Amino acid sequence: MTATTYCYQLQPEKVRAEFFRLLPISLFVVAFGAAFGLAAVQKGLEPLQAILMSFTVFAGASQFAAVDMWGSEVSLIPLIAVVFAINSRHLLMGASLYPMLRDMSPGRRYGLLLFLTDANWAVSAQEYQSGKRNLEVILGGGLALWIAWIIGTWLGVYFGGLLQDPKSLGLDMVLGCFLLAMALGGKKSPRTLVAWTVAAISSLAAWKWLPPNTHVVVGALAGGAIGFFWLERKTGDEDKVSAEEESST
């Protein structure tokens, strides 16, 4: 059996640096976790159960939706459907990191994916667009976000009254603003702008007419289709192509 070599090695000092890089945004996540903790105990979860859910699920929007469905009993299939639909964006986010992740052993690859969430993915994906390979932010940044989410939930279940209305402080917009900043910080080409327009229109249409929580996947796939059919020429290729065109005439 030949040993496969995986060339992507996580650098511990870079993991640490990425942990501290996402620490500011993690402070906002604490506030959001507190809002979840409060919502969870109000719906009848025990404090420890709410904290356990944040510890193992670690996907905020789906947790909010799940406790919204809480009662004396919970229907299993609707719960699974909602959690899957809200988190299905992870499928695409993971897939977008695959070109980097395949250079890592399967054990580490899937271990790393346990920390995958919107904010650290956005940083990694955006840097990949500009040619930088950064999986350290998934681990380091993910740890910062995960710890913040658990601490926040803990604060919320015990001291939730302190944060009755996170919305009035604008805290519900933390993730939206963060993701927008990441999108605008990335590389913009005519192809990207067309893809964004298509993604925007189709996600809006899906949000209006398709089942709830499907809009992210619909919009992202529609945008991706633009990339599939419209290949961007690399700067090096451009000369080659124009040379070929010239030689064929």
Partner 1 sequence: MTIETTNAGILALIAVMTLVTVVTRFGGVFLMSFVTINPRIESFINTMASSVLIAIIVPMAFSGDAGSLAALVVTAVIMLATKKPLPAIAAGIAAAGLVRYSGITGF
6 vs 108: CA distance, rounded Å: 10
Of 134-163, which residues contact partner 1 (CB under 8 A)? none
Q: Which is nearer to partner 1, 134 or 202 (CB)?
A: 202
By CB under 8 A, which span of 1-9, 44-52, 155-163, 239-247 interacts with partner 1? 44-52
The DSSP result for 1-54, as a single string, is -PPPP------HHHHHHHHHHTHHHHHHHHHHHHHHHHHHHHTT--HHHHHHHH
* 241 near partner 1 (CB under 8 A): no
Determine contact, residues 137/124, Cβ cutoff 8 Å.
Answer: yes
* 53 near partner 1 (CB under 8 A): yes
* 116 near partner 1 (CB under 8 A): yes
DSSP tag of 171: G
By CB under 8 A, which span of 9-17, 148-156, 193-201, 238-246 interacts with partner 1? 193-201
Among 26, 63, 120, 153, binds partner 1 (CB under 8 A): 63
141 vs 180: CA distance, rounded Å: 18
By CB under 8 A, which span of 6-14, 146-154, 155-163, 212-220 interacts with partner 1? 212-220
- Per DSSP, the three-state class of 128 is helix
Q: Angle 47-56/60-68 helices, nearest 10 degrees? A: 140
Question: At its nearest, how many Å lie between partner 1 and the CB of residue 154?
Answer: 16
The residues, any chain, with a CB within 8 Å of residue 161's CB and separated by 6 or more, are 38
* 20 near partner 1 (CB under 8 A): no
* 47 near partner 1 (CB under 8 A): no
Placement of tokens 């025990």 in the chain: 46
* 26 near partner 1 (CB under 8 A): no
User: Encoding tokens for residue 50?
Assistant: 């709410």
* 195 near partner 1 (CB under 8 A): yes
Placement of tokens 């994916």 in the chain: 113
| Cα distance between the two ends of the chain | 52
* 122 near partner 1 (CB under 8 A): yes
Of 64-93, which residues contact partner 1 (CB under 8 A)? 66, 70-77, 79-80, 83-84, 87-93
As a residue count, the chain comes to 249
How big is the site for partner 1, counted in residues (CB under 8 A)? 101
* 173 near partner 1 (CB under 8 A): yes
Q: Which is nearer to partner 1, 101 or 148 (CB)?
A: 101
